[in-house]
Amino acid sequence: MALKARLDLRQSQSLVMTPQLQQAIKLLQFNNIELSSFIDSELLENPLLERADPGQTFAESGDGAVGNGEQGIDSRTSDDFSDREDRFGTDRLTSSETLSTGDSSPLDCAPDALYNGEGEISADGAPVAGSHDYTAPYSGGGTGGSGGGGGEDLPGLEQTLADQVTLRQSLDDQLNVAFVDAISRMIGSYLIDMLDDSGYVAGPLEEVAEALECDMADVLRVLKAMQGFEPVGIFARGLAECLELQLRERNRFDPAMAALLANLELLARREFDRLRRICGVDADDLSDMIGEIRTLDPRPGRTADGEPATPVIPDVLMRSAGNGNWHLELNSEALPRVLVNEDYAVQIGKGLRNREERSFLSEKLQNANWLVKALHQRATTIMKVSSEIVRQQDGFFNHGVSHLRPLILRNIAEAIGMHESTVSRVTNGKFMATPRGVFELKYFFTTAISSSDGGDSYSSESVRHRIKLLIDGEDPKKILSDDKLVELLEKEGIDIARRTVAKYREAMRIPSSVQRRREKKAGVS
């Protein structure tokens, strides 16, 4: 067969991951903290982007930017949004349309890009009563400045804020007050450096004496004095000593408590009969002693110098609208308001002199418009997913965790016409504030436990809840084994294996039936 060259023309389709598409995917999976950091960097790099005034509306903005209550949307960012310019005239929009939640109550379509089932933003809207009342930021310093008061010598408000004192700084201050001689302070500084994250002295004291070439008696003297520093329990050489220091501070350290601290391994194994004999107390006294130990802090260093707990800022706010309806809206504090300053673009465009400058301006304007559009699409997608979750888990919000339905990503993806990977990105790191608490969106996705009678499946979370209720209500004289729990659950129509019951019980940190029998017998809860 002869070989010859031939030219063919074929058509094919492929998905190209453009930089803008990659950025849209990143924006979708960002949580509110990561999104805020990303927006800050974009504001620094793009001169055409600016953060919108929280109270600004379309009528007040002179550059054609419009807001949807959470993000500023420029009316000229895309042809897709040109016909929606009159829809975002208020900071809060609401819709009178209701969405069915399936078997039970409808879901009240709420403001801020709430999905209405057709991929559109609700057009008919009115301001919602009780919307956020934003106030002007404080302006510190300056003469004659409004809200600041005072003259130029007065510091700004941000300069009057106290710095967070670290554990090291606090211990150094206490060390300087406790000792005046240089040798004691040097030993104390060395001991501070030896503290681990929990506040324990990590290492032998002989190391201190050898490194500083001092007497061991001086090291022990300084250590004993520093064990009285705040927080109580610091500079302990182990868990038992840490608890002892805190009990001495409360004047609750006696021979019985000393015997208990010397046998903490028995407490960990829940051998309460042996502990009663060793401590020489009855069941009630032992129960009180254990309860007091539970109130102590085993890691005083981590509590004092740990990172401050970052409060969860919900992305979606949910409240009851009455008559079984639910009202959803995006949290304005979790989403930045960004708009494109086209007036500034026009102004600097008149002074451009060469092709490179015009190309730079065109690129920045295109990126700014696309970013604003991507932020709006992100907000809309979050509301689509959230509203569908509320529809399918309506029983949970009305009746509690026992009515949590089994749910997987595919159920939501098929309902809203999106890919499972998109739903996964939206639910990761996003939180919803509900009347039952603040939950991550992923919380509502649980595996299914089949029904023994062929009925609807049960959510794994609701089964866990049921196991906990059965154990909490068990008779102290008839402790429920895992096999007995399986039998009781089967009578309720839940088909579950023994190993699954054991796995759920251990995940909830519930002891085995043997350990619970010891506790109940000893009278220790």
pLDDT in tens, 271-325: 888 988 999 888 888 888 898 899 999 998 886 555 555 677 899 999 988 887 8
Mean pLDDT, residues 161-175 taken together: 78
- Confidence check: pLDDT of 170 > 70: yes
Where does the pLDDT of residue 53 fall: very low under 50, low under 70, confident under 90, or very high at 90 and above?
Answer: low
Q: Is the distance from CB of 64 to CB of 99 less than 8 angstroms?
A: no
- Confidence check: pLDDT of 145 > 90: no
- Confidence check: pLDDT of 484 > 80: yes
How many residues are listed for the chain in this entry?
A: 525
Is this structure's pTM higher than 0.85?
no
How many Cβ atoms sit within 10 Å of the Cβ of residue 103? 10
For residue range 375-418, what is the model confidence (pLDDT) as tens digits?
899 999 999 999 999 999 888 888 877 778 888 899 999 999 99
Mean pLDDT, residues 505-520 taken together: 81
CA torsion, ordered 36, 329, 406, 29, to nearest 10 deg: -20
Between 495 and 139, where is the model more confident?
495
- Confidence check: pLDDT of 443 > 90: no
The residues, ordered by sequence, that sit 6+ positions from 140 with a Cβ below 8 Å of its Cβ are 148, 154, 155, 156, 157, 158, 159
Mean pLDDT for all residues in the chain: 75
Between 312 and 451, where is the model more confident?
312
Mean pLDDT, residues 129-133 taken together: 31
- Confidence check: pLDDT of 81 > 70: no
Between 507 and 522, where is the model more confident?
507
Where does the pLDDT of residue 519 fall: very low under 50, low under 70, confident under 90, or very high at 90 and above?
Answer: confident
Min mean pLDDT across 136-145, 231-240, 398-407, 429-438 is at: 136-145
pLDDT value of position 126: 30
3-class secondary structure, 51: strand
Mean pLDDT, residues 210-220 taken together: 89
Can you tell me the distance from the alpha carbon of 79 to that of 432, in angstroms, rounded to the nearest whole number? 32
- Confidence check: pLDDT of 129 > 80: no
DSSP letter at 310? Answer: P
Could you tell me which of 177, 173, 183 has the C-alpha nearest to residue 222?
Answer: 183
Min mean pLDDT across 103-117, 352-366, 465-479 is at: 103-117
Could you tell me which of 67, 74, 125 has the C-alpha nearest to residue 96?
Answer: 125
Could you tell me which of 172, 174, 186, 176 has the C-alpha nearest to residue 218?
Answer: 186
Mean pLDDT, residues 7-13 taken together: 85
- Confidence check: pLDDT of 21 > 70: yes
Q: Is the distance from CB of 369 to CB of 78 less than 8 angstroms?
A: yes
- Confidence check: pLDDT of 504 > 50: yes
